[in-house]
A and B are shown apart, each in its own frame.
Chain A
Amino acid sequence: QSVLTQPPSVSAAPGQKVTISCSGSSSNIGNNYVSWYQQLPGTAPKFLIYDNNKRPSGIPDRFSGSKSGTSATLGITGLQTGDEANYYCGTWDSSLSVGVFGGGTKLTVL
């Protein structure tokens, strides 16, 4: 069971918008930066969002991140079939002194 809670799956039609939630606690999300990772089928994960809401170079602005209290959200607009992937949230847990991830959310673009 993961320390951070994500929905196992989400789906939406091409061109639509989807959000993926990540719920934690004051010792992790509440007091540390959150990153989001995209893992396309058969590939290594990559940073999609870091420091709660920053995008690495090359990541389109269709992807956005936000944080409020002990929860974080990844938003994806203008969905494309190429966005089908597993998405993970991650952060540091200051009480446990360990890194923590969500269980991952599989995005299906119908």
Chain B
Amino acid sequence: EVQLVESGGGLVKPGGSLRLSCAASGFTFSTYSMNWVRQAPGKGLEWVSSISRSSDYTHYADSVKGRFTISRDNAKNSLYLQMNSLRAEDTAVYYCVSSPYNGVSGYWGQGSLVTVSS
């Protein structure tokens, strides 16, 4: 069974930092591009960042560029999102998402809530 389990969310003050992790199991993690997608309370989905299978390529939404860093460790089947200089508007549930590949569907994690507030 495919599982993506996010952790590391919580309450942080504006300007603070947080590191999200996503533990993957049930599939060959190293063969899939991975993404972070967030959803602010009562709002729609917002793509945040993507990373290629071997970390050759990373992409970021303009809203987080320069503040967030995506990374992965294929040996540990893990995806990360380092979030610095956090703002109130970064408050959201953050989802770890695997991209479809080679005719196989992607998957979503259950999400991790990040709240930025003083």
- List residues of chain A with CB under 8 Å of any chain B CB: 2, 33, 35, 37, 44-47, 50-51, 54, 56-57, 86, 88, 90, 97-104
CB neighbours (8 Å) of A104 from chain B are 44-45
Chain A to chain B: the 4 pairs with minimum beta-carbon distance, closest first: A99-B47, A56-B105, A50-B100, A104-B44
- The answer to whether B45 and A90 have CB atoms under 8 Å apart is yes
In the bound complex, CA of A2 to CA of B47 (Å):
11
Q: How far is the CB of A82 from chain B (nearest CB, A)?
A: 19
Q: How far is the CB of B66 from chain A (nearest CB, A)?
A: 15
Which among B10-18, B72-80, B84-92, B108-116 touches the partner chain? B108-116
- The answer to whether A47 and B105 have CB atoms under 8 Å apart is yes
Max chain B Cβ within 10 angstroms of own Cβ: one of A33, A44, A54: A44
CB neighbours (8 Å) of A47 from chain B are 100, 105-108
CB neighbours (8 Å) of A35 from chain B are 100, 106
In the bound complex, CA of A102 to CA of B47 (Å):
11
CB neighbours (8 Å) of A56 from chain B are 105
In the bound complex, CA of A100 to CA of B44 (Å):
11
- The answer to whether B105 and A90 have CB atoms under 8 Å apart is no
Q: Return the contact of B106 from the options A44, A50, A57, A101 (Cβ within 8 A).
A: A50
